Each structure stands twice: as C-alpha cells, then as structure tokens.
Chains A and B, each alone.
Chain A
C-alpha cells in the first residue's frame, strides 16, 4: 500500500461513493442485457447494426406486450411509451396516469403539466411544472426518485403522496399518506422530513411554511426558515449584483466579505474572505453562502477562487444548486474555455430542470458550443432554444445557426 495520506483519503472516499452507487449490483441487474459497448473502433459498424436490430426487436416486443422498458414509461390508458425528456400534460377534463418500470405510478390531475427529466430502472426525476400530482412510489432500497414541484425538490424513497404547485399564488402543498419524503428548496432554508399523515404547505409570497398533521403542533415552521430566507437556485437572478446568501450577518461595523459584497465591493469582499481563510470559509459556509462567495470571486476576477467556492457549493446543495451555471461563467468569461463552459451549462440544464436560469444557461450553452466549433451540437441546441425562447436574448444567434 502507499503511505500517502492524501491517496488513502481519496481511496476511502471513492470506496464510499462506489458503495453508494451500487455499480456491481447494477452490473448484475444488466447481465445478459448489455454485453458490449458501442464505440469500439473495430466493431463500430457491426455494433451499430446490432443495436438497431435489437432496438427494432424491442420496439416490436414492447408494442405487442405493452411492457415498460427501464428507460421508458407508459402514459394513460393507451400505454403509449414516453422517454426521458418527454413532456406530458393531462387534458383539462380528466387525469392522466403514468406507469414506470419499477411499478411506481403517478397520476396527473386535470390540467397538470409535467416533464420526466430522466429515468432508469431505479426511478425517475419528474418535474411538475404546474398543477397536482398523486404518486405511489414503490419502495426499494436503491430506488432513486425525485419530484421537483415549482422551486421545491421532493426526494422520495417509497411512499404515497399528493403534491401540487400553484404557479400563480406560488403555493406548494404536499400531503403524505405513507412513508416519508425529504423536501428542500423554495422558502425552506434546510431539508425537511415529512412523514405519513403530515401536510406541508409553503407560501412563497410571504415566505412562510406550515407543517401540520400527525406528530406536529401545527405551528409555523419558523425554525426551518431564516429571518430572511436565502434565494433558491430557482429564484436567483442572472446576477450582475452578487447574491449574498443571507442577511443574518450585520452590514456594519464588521467588514465581513458578506457585508462588503452586499455593498458591491467585490474586490474588498474577496480580500476579506482571503483574510479570514478562504479554504476555511469553503468548509464553514452554507451552500447558498458559497454560491455568493463564488459570485464575489468571479466578479473580482479570480477564476480559481470562484471555481473553488462553486465546487464546494456543489457538495452542499441538493442537485448542485446553480453552482454549475457559475462554473460555466468562469470557464466562458474568464478562461475562454468554451468546451468546458458548454459542459457546465449543460450540467446546469440537467441538474435544474425547473431552474430560473434555464434561458440564460441554454443561451450560453448555445454560444459556447458555437465558439468551441461544435457546429452540429450548436445547431441542435439552437433549434431547442428557438422553440422555447423565440424572443430570447440569443434568438438572433440561434436563427443564424439553424439557417
């Protein structure tokens, strides 16, 4: 064995991740299904032909048996198959049911729209854009289910619940029949566990949340909310002014980096963070504070420090928050690394399917791909951009690319 404490630590961390990711169990589950990866040079054409044949056979089999493959879900009575990225909307006069490969079911109430951001054999990531969804998620030790509802994220293990998001009134409402879920985002300053028989309602307009039902006093969740809640990733502005995580710190007389950043003195704020120990700050600060610190460093011109703060934020925020967007800006604006920037902007779009910076991220992704010479991919993103944001800031570039 090496006698390198650094690598001993990295090895232990990697082993921990390896256990969490259950690679071996996934491999065992896929045995006989996946035997060769495409992309090996000598066999690429054979593999492609074989893959097409298998896909065709699978499609026929699915059509005949109405079975649900791991990477698809069945929609409504017809059993039409949807895939990751599919947008589904219930008619205005009746509900629409979704059935998943692991046996879980979700019913979208009339008028509800949602998107299945990703899915596999272990679960799905569902984004309810508006309306009400009732879910019955099959409990499995390794299940990975997540439901995003407006600016809230609901991490699900195995449960039955009903959740809704009123986009106009900005009210989140969750009723849990069985099991438990973890809720974060929105006005919640911390992850909150909601158990069977409980109801969580959160009101964005007056930054208030209530947990009621079994085992609660029915009181407001004042302890779960800071005096002035930090902005969530979904509520973050594109941010020319640095977003300071909380207002808990006094503005004066202590010249903390937070106070200096709040008054727009980003260079002084970065210097203050350096004085108090930047590495220590990265360990101590909350995820939202680290986003703010990343903004400060980026605007002060320190790509290295900005990257350090945003990477630290990724470990502390569910789904990474908007850290990936910040990392994309660092690569794009400060390093001129457009391929790297494209990766981070794409990561943001994947991590935050309901994030408020999606238009900006997609526009930046488009520009980064164009500048890095990835013309084919840039054109594909340009088409998506124009469908979603025909009047967006990058629409002129997108039109030029699709011509």
Chain B
C-alpha cells in the first residue's frame, strides 16, 4: 500500500522539513513519534484527542481544567512513547495515561483540601450550561458531588464503568490492575453511591427505580 506523501515546507527558522502525513497507521505513527518526527505529535492529538477528552471528562467531570488536562496527557504520552512496544495498543495506552493523569489531579485536589483546608477558587463547581434540561444537569452535578467524596481509585473505576459504560475487561486493561481488584473497587464504590444517592432528592428515586443495578 502506498503511503501518502507530503510536500517539504520551510519552517520559521529556515529549516526544510517534511510534515508527517495524517493518514498513516498507528504503527507508523508510533515509529514517527519515537524519532520525534515533526508533525507526528499533531497527528496523535488529532487522532485521539476526542478519546482522551471523553475519558478525562468521565473521571473528573465537566471542569475548567479539562483542556489543560488533555494537553498534559499528550505531553506525557510523547515523553513516554519509547516505552510503548505494541503499537496496536496505542489507543488503550493513551487511555491509561489519560486515566492516570485524571486520577493524579483528583488526588492532588484531595490532598490540598485535606492538609490545607484552603479555599481554592479554581475548584468551584462550574456553572450549569444555560438552557440545560434542569433535571439531567442537576442529577449530573449531584453525581459528581457524590463522586468527589470517593477515594480516587474507586471513583475512577466507577466513572469508567457507569459514566462511560465500559466493560470489565476494558477497565482492567486501562487501569492496569486485576479483574478481582476492579470488581472489589466497583462493589465498594457502588455501595457508597447508592448510600449517598438515597439521601439525595435528585437521585434517590432514579436509583431506587433501577431494575438492573450493578450487573457486571
């Protein structure tokens, strides 16, 4: 199969480079990333940016730090790409970095709250979007307020399973832990959530109505 070719371009520094074309396989992309080929990082960002965005939003919730978090994931990925042996696992490897980075953010926030008890304006809840359906947006807000009280590991498992709808195997792969550990974390997180939701006017009824709660 012939690969798309790119025209050489001159950079602002006067160097002539051949930009990396976007239509190549993950294997070619990983190879290009490893030799720091110009444009390869951009292709990675465009190809998997939405995937990373989805994962960090699921774990953290809608949050003003999401754009910076996305960029941090890609910065880490480019730094560590030499450690990626199996190029076909690029997407799930990036997902792992995304989840790890989101979890680190959550832990840092918890640490700041616990040890400093400091008023952190950047962590104030984001405003609801004007025109949002009131019930759904309120339930979403309450869900993440409840998740804010969870240990980070349990929150990640819960968010991937229920907010994202991932299967057990996918969670195992992305979190890099055994299925038994994932199941235990999910069970604890589920119990916490149900307990908290029972006292929440927005969630109580819906959780009680759920007929097939917790099937994994």
Chain A residues within CB distance 8 Å of chain B: 1-14, 16-18, 20-21, 23-24, 26-31, 34-37, 39-41, 278-279, 282-283, 304-305, 307-308, 311-312, 314-316, 318-320, 339, 342-343, 346-347, 350-351, 369, 372-374, 376-377
Partner of A315 from the list B54, B57, B69, B134 (CB cut-off 8 Å) is B134
Closest to A305 in B: B201
Min CB gap A154→B, angstroms:
14
| Residues in B whose Cβ lies below 8 Å from that of A320 | 127-128
**Contact residues on B (Cβ < 8 Å of other chain), bracket:** 35 or more
Q: Is B71 in contact with A41, judged by CB distance below 8 angstroms? A: no
Chain B residues within CB distance 8 Å of chain A: 45, 49-50, 53-54, 57-58, 61-62, 65-72, 74-75, 104-105, 108, 112, 117-119, 121, 124-125, 127-130, 132-143, 161-165, 199, 201-203, 205-207, 209-210, 212-213, 215
| Residues in B whose Cβ lies below 8 Å from that of A31 | 45, 71, 74
Bound-state Cα–Cα, A329 to B137, Å: 22
Majority SS at the chain B contact face: helix
| Residues in B whose Cβ lies below 8 Å from that of A342 | 119
Closest to B101 in A: A37
Closest to A33 in B: B71
Closest to B137 in A: A315
Closest to B161 in A: A2
Bound-state Cα–Cα, A105 to B82, Å: 48
Bound-state Cα–Cα, A21 to B60, Å: 14
Q: Is B119 in contact with A369, judged by CB distance below 8 angstroms? A: yes
Known A10-B139, A13-B133, A319-B127; judge A18-B71 contact (CB<8 A): no
Question: Count of A-B contacts with CB under 8 A?
Answer: 163
Partner of A282 from the list B121, B134, B140, B164 (CB cut-off 8 Å) is B134
Q: Is B164 in contact with A11, judged by CB distance below 8 angstroms? A: yes
Closest to B66 in A: A23
| Residues in B whose Cβ lies below 8 Å from that of A308 | 201-202
Partner of A30 from the list B53, B62, B68, B137 (CB cut-off 8 Å) is B68
10 pairs from A and B in contact (CB 8 Å cutoff): A6-B203, A6-B206, A14-B163, A27-B70, A29-B67, A30-B67, A31-B71, A36-B75, A316-B134, A377-B118
Min CB gap B147→A, angstroms:
11
Bound-state Cα–Cα, A203 to B129, Å: 29
| Residues in B whose Cβ lies below 8 Å from that of A30 | 67-68, 71
Known A6-B207, A24-B50, A377-B118; judge A37-B69 contact (CB<8 A): yes
Closest to A278 in B: B201
| Residues in A whose Cβ lies below 8 Å from that of B143 | 10
Known A7-B165, A14-B62, A36-B72; judge A314-B117 contact (CB<8 A): no
| Residues in A whose Cβ lies below 8 Å from that of B133 | 13, 315
Known A305-B201, A315-B137, A347-B124; judge A23-B57 contact (CB<8 A): yes
